[in-house]
Amino acid sequence: MQPLEADDPRTVGEYRLLRRLGAGGMGRVYLGRSPGGRTVAVKVVHPHFAADEEFRGRFRREVDSARRVGGEWTAPVLDADPEAPTPWVATGYVAGPSLHQAVVGHGPLPEHTVRALGAGLGEALAAVHARGLVHRDVKPSNVLLTLDGPRLIDFGIARAMDGTASLTSTGVTVGSPGYMSPEQVLGREAGPASDVFSLGAVLAYAATGTPPFPGDNSAALLYKVVHEEPELGDLDGVLRETVTACLAKDATARPSPAEVARRLAGAAGATGLVRPGWLPGPVVEGVSRRAVELLELEADDEPPAPPPVPSAPAPSPPVHATPTEPSAPPPGGPPGAFGPPPPYGAPTEDGTPPRRRRRRAALLAAGALLAATAAGGLLLFPDGLFPGGGGDDPKPDDRPPGTVPEAFVGTWEGQTVTRSGLHGSTLTLTVSEGREGEETVRMVYEITGLECRARGTVEDVSKTRLKVTERSEGDSPEVLGVKVCSGETATVVLTLDGEGRLHYASDDVGAGRPEGDLTRRK
């Protein structure tokens, strides 16, 4: 990320721009923030393209196509304005290095990483093709790596399969030499099989550290793509077989993206391979550094907290707050929860200087970031939106008042996400039988193989809602000399939604107010 320069805009549409991410043949890319606090990547086309009506029409069609792209392994298009004086498009921001950056910085990736990468990209392309689209520029710089798996980005030149508009009519190169399919090089129709060829070239690069068609110039690269066999080094086994099949000169001989995913991951799919440790350690450190940069940027972006105003001591709070009473967030973070730090200048219990405290919070969140901001946004259920918890009541429970309802008892699992869109942790939460004032809740937060454990005391009970005070349990693991578990006390609200899910919500500002929908372990 680079600071904005004098000629960079400060706002695009409703998005406030914070940093410059890069530039390409079609425009510049910025890190931005929506009015609701979501972090996005905003691509603004070059001004000379904006004056070209043919380009505007093509850009409009491309944005419409990109909006249709979905799937777990892509970054979604969130907003766009093709009619603006300078057209732009905003996508979910993925805070991870590109495959190109990872290989240049750390060398070839291990086999298990490449298989997970191929399975995820295969499923992403299957989702793209199912919507009648062709990406047409699958290459290492358009693949981002996160702790949650790979992300395929930049559908700027994707188009509908039945489209007839030429994307080269204004001199814009379609595809990248060395990763283009033979049919693209020869100017023929590029269908879904063309993306599969590019996928094979990307996987060869990830596994060997060099492109399968090396060359000193574009002409040499393009000649080899059409006429020569790929150079795959010591690649072997199912990975070599799959890559070789993808790089077949005959488009009809290539496997489908779904078949690529099946060959590499089996019936479990990409999610069976993308698990803690799927990325090698040096790449995880790079992801963590990007997370720190982003979270420090978020902290810098917060307005300074106003100085405290002396006042008379507040009366003692009631023992149990009603469901509609707002409760002030505790000063610390729930054990194992990750998210942006408190605003700069906010007071802390332990007297740590705000900037040091902010950096510590960023480090706690570093391993938990995911790309920001991929599909769908956040699910927020503030108190009072559904008084008493909302949804249909569970089956009748004749237990005495103050007793934990049977519908809560059991083990629940799910992912948490912070209010700013950052992935938190994998949460396993167990509720035992008990009543108000008893420790009947246990939490285990897991991220990249590290665990934080906590116990919870039930403070308030209704048929569909538990209010719990959470405290850390046991010693905290450390990363780079920093404790991962915050060790603070937090307030957590658990709400049954009437559809078999348990909604988890923490009101801790320092942890990013993490939330998540949990399902009962079977």
Q: Where are the domains of the chain?
A: 1-93, 95-160+176-279, 286-304+328-520
Q: Which two tokens stand for residue 502?
A: 């348990």
Q: What architecture is domain 1-93?
A: 2-Layer Sandwich (3.30)
Rounded Cα gap, residues 179 and 222, in angstroms: 9
- Helix, strand and coil percent figures for the chain, each rounded to 5: 30, 25, 50
In the residue annotation, 137 being an active-site residue is answered as yes
- Tens of pLDDT along 256-295? 999 999 999 998 899 899 988 899 988 888 787 777 777 6
Q: Is 522 annotated as a binding residue?
A: no
* Amino acid 419: pLDDT: 66
Fold of 95-160+176-279: Transferase(Phosphotransferase); domain 1 (1.10.510)
Reduce the DSSP state of residue 125 to 3 states and report it: helix
* Amino acid 422: pLDDT: 60
* Amino acid 399: pLDDT: 64
Q: Which two tokens stand for residue 215?
A: 């060359």
Q: For residue 372, count CB atoms less than 10 angstroms from its CB and return exposed for 0-12, middle for 13-18, buried for 19 or more.
A: buried
pLDDT in tens, the chain (522 residues): 788 888 889 999 999 999 998 776 678 899 999 888 888 899 898 888 878 888 888 888 878 877 777 667 888 788 889 889 989 999 888 878 899 999 999 999 999 999 999 999 999 999 889 888 888 889 998 999 988 899 998 765 444 343 333 333 333 345 577 899 999 988 888 899 999 999 999 999 999 999 999 887 778 888 899 999 999 999 999 999 999 999 999 999 999 999 999 999 998 899 899 988 899 988 888 787 777 777 667 555 554 444 555 444 444 444 444 344 444 444 444 433 333 333 434 444 444 444 444 444 444 444 443 333 222 222 222 322 222 333 333 444 556 778 999 999 999 998 887 765 566 678 899 999 999 999 999 999 887 667 888 999 999 999 999 999 999 888 877 655 556 676 778 899 999 987 889 999 987 665 667 888 999 986
Kindly give, in sequence order, each residue whose CB lies less than 8 Å from that of residue 247, ignoring residues fewer than 6 positions away: 197, 200, 201, 204, 212, 230
The region, left, alpha or beta by phi > 0 then psi within -120 to 50, assigned to residue 410 is: left
Give CA separation, 291 vs 20, 89, 110, 211, 342, in Å: 16, 23, 23, 29, 16
* Amino acid 519: pLDDT: 92
Tell if the pTM clears 0.85, that is, is over it: no
Kindly give, in sequence order, each residue whose CB lies less than 8 Å from that of residue 434, ignoring residues fewer than 6 positions away: 403, 404, 440, 458
DSSP 380-419: ---TTTSGGG-S---S---PPTTBPPGGG-EEEEEEEE-T
Residue of 79, 81, 137, 195 marked catalytic: 137
Give CA separation, 160 vs 65, 87, 232, 417, in Å: 7, 20, 32, 34
